[in-house]
């Protein structure tokens, strides 16, 4: 199964997760795992999602998430899981 990694980086504020999750639910993207940490004062969240049921193309999906990030004042990136697997797993 193809999985996508969504990262959200920025200053912590109310409703970040809610807004991202709403967008994902509307687009039939299933969240498999969420973790978060604070790095140098910045809020870092990572979601592992299954976007196979999403009707939008990956490019459209990633662009819309980016725009949503700008709206809430954080940086949101969607990347295919393979880049992390390739780099960190033999």
- Which residues would be at the binding site for another protein (CB under 8 A)? 5, 7, 9, 33, 35-37, 39, 44, 46, 48, 58-59, 62, 77-88
Of the pair 23, 58, the CB lying nearest another protein is at 58
Distance CA(8)–CA(77), nearest Å, equals 7
Q: Which is nearer to another protein, 13 or 83 (CB)?
A: 83
How far apart are CB 48 and another protein at their closest, in Å?
Answer: 7
Closest distance of CB 21 from another protein, Å: 17
Nearer to another protein, 18 or 32 (CB): 32
Contact between residue 52 and residue 1 where contact means Cβ atoms under 8 Å apart: yes
The rounded radius of gyration (Å) of the Cα atoms in the chain is 13
CA–CA gap between residue 30 and residue 48 (Å, rounded):
9
Query: Residue 50's closest CA among 80, 84, 75, 7?
Result: 80
CB of 26 to another protein, least distance (A): 21
């Amino acid at each position: 199964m193809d999985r996508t990694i969504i990262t959200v980086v920025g200053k912590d504020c109310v409703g970040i997760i809610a807004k991202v999750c709403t967008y994902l639910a509307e687009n039939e993207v299933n969240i498999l795992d969420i973790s978060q940490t604070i790095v140098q004062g910045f809020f870092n969240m990572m979601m592992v999602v299954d976007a196979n049921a999403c009707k939008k193309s990956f490019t459209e999906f990633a662009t819309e998430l980016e725009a949503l990030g700008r709206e809430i004042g954080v940086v949101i990136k969607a990347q295919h899981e393979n880049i992390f697997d390739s780099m960190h797993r033999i």
